[in-house]
Structure 1
Amino acid sequence: MTIFETAVRPVLFRVGGGDAEKAHEFTLERLARLRPGALAVLRRRYAVDRPVEVFGVRFPNPVGLAAGMDKNGVALRSWPALGFGFVEVGTVTAKAQPGNDRPRLFRLRDSEAVINRMGFNNAGAAALAARLAALGPLGVPLGISLGKSKVTPLEEAVQDYLTSYELLHPYADYIAVNVSSPNTPGLRTLQDKSALAALLGALVGKTPVLVKIAPDLTEPAIAELLEVCLAHGAAGVIATNTTLARDGLATPDQPRATETGGLSGRPLTERARKIVHFVHQETAGRLPVIGVGGILDPDDATRMFDAGAALLQLYTGFIYRGPALVKAAAKAKR
């Protein structure tokens, strides 16, 4: 057990009377206030120098922060100090939106899992662009995850994504196209062949574009999606997003299974790994894969690398294990 698990996590889990979203906001606020001296101390403790180049981008180490943790980029200076070799902000939409009603974030502690139905709550692409312009270089690669505004009809989705892309791609080392969140009505239909082809046709350009896929797709559906990615110049795939399935929950967490939203964490470990392996095999390595889902210890990281992942991302694992996991995963055998 690390200091984070024994001392820090219990405190964070009590913030706001146990409200997971209030704890999330509390953490972001504190990270955003860290001074250069504190960041330097953290960097000496957690930074790992293990460079790798993927889709033409050089990463100081292969472990990144997944989208959803810092949607609006408020704590961007802190993530590299906590050991992350890259950071993905968002998911951001062309139009600012409040997201779904609260409560919308739930911890399932015995399962080391989270259910969220956030609904792309964010300040909008223009606000993020302004923040990134003021911030300047981050020091590690920055990915920006784009989603569809909830109020935008599906038939206007391409223009909605393109609006965000035009505002944000100058600041991004890569763009992630999120067509797989279960929390925006109809969004996952954009994974269909014709819809994805139109979207990639509009977005693929100088900045590498990756497609984030759902873990609930069948292998034939993933194979079709990969054909579109290859045909339209996608730089890679992020596998996977959260799942609508509720398999693998510990008994004390079963009452939470009725909460709608996407499940992440330990119950997703094997499914995410299998999809990463399938993508790697199906494309013969032509599409680099960022593996994300259920990585909670170094062995999970090693197995994800063995499955074919070129890079990893953490979200729920970071919530439960803290920055020591970032360091351990970055050192994992690959």
Structure 2
Amino acid sequence: MSAPLRVLGIESSCDETGIALVECAPAGEPQGVPRLLAHALHSQIEMHQAYGGVVPELASRDHIRRVVPLLRETLAASGLGLEAIDVVAYTRGPGLAGALLVGAGMGCALGLALDRPVLGVHHLEGHLLSPFLSADPPEFPFVALLVSGGHTQLMRVDGVGRYELLGETIDDAAGEAFDKTAKMLGLGYPGGPALSRLAEQGDPAAHALPRPLMKTDNLDFSFAGLKTAVWTRMQRLEAEHGQPIAADGMARPRADLAASTQAAIVDVLLNKSLSALRRTGLKRLVVAGGVGANRRLREQLDEACRRRGVRVHYPELHLCTDNGAMIALAGAMRLQSGQAVAERHYAFDVRPRWDLSAL
């Protein structure tokens, strides 16, 4: 049996810098799930909080500062040196152009210096495959609910690189609905997790908010109308109470509106996921991306799928947000399956917009 293949992953698409090292069997040999040897992550949340959102130029500069120390940290944790790296995988897109260029430049420079092949990886494919690093990895085929930042998609997944788009967002994605509602409520950045925490204190039935496209025959998503409805309801509450929604005296109305918003988003995601399972006849669901960490979403999906005899798989909580482990994993699984070939070609480019279904 050949020596295991070790793939280094570099993630720098937005506001997290991630480095990871995974180990897998080479192509042509009995395949198992790649094993995570070590990873390191730096989040820029604290830096961007002062601006209420990600500042692309600051994000790029911070990636430059962090990527080498994180590489050293990852190698130290794995007990391996640079010479142990067989392939360098980096996020090619989608994401912020300047941020992507940092990871792509680092990946190709490292590949050139070590005389190792490199591989550009799709960021969303990393999220899609990230549950394979969990204690309960899925098996193909499955329906995937991908809820990451500006992306909400349902896909049929028959294998690595074998993706059929079933439905996607036509305006605001679920993550954007969380973030934009949080900003309306004065919760700051990052908005989604803050809104979810506040929702725990409120009544999800306090406001009858719309569930856009939930009753349609297609599997597409639209959350722009929900955002408008929340804004209208917030204006009414402020007029009734005579103070802004962010005021201390508005704690209860603010929590109720947060809980009702979260309930509307989760209801749509749940309904569409179950519809996708019915249409495909599959009995396995994978949920990936940052919104996949939402506790209410997990509880509702677990209960609904349990009643239907459907298995649900999630990434580990610490791997729901952007990270290098998912990029290393996606690179390794593409190489294992023969869906990609790493090359000693170091003239890199990035793809800020890149359709996953085009892979």
TM-score between both structures, scaled by the size of structure 1: 0.31
Question: Relative contact order, CA 8 A, sep 6+: which one is greater?
Answer: 2
Larger Rg: 2
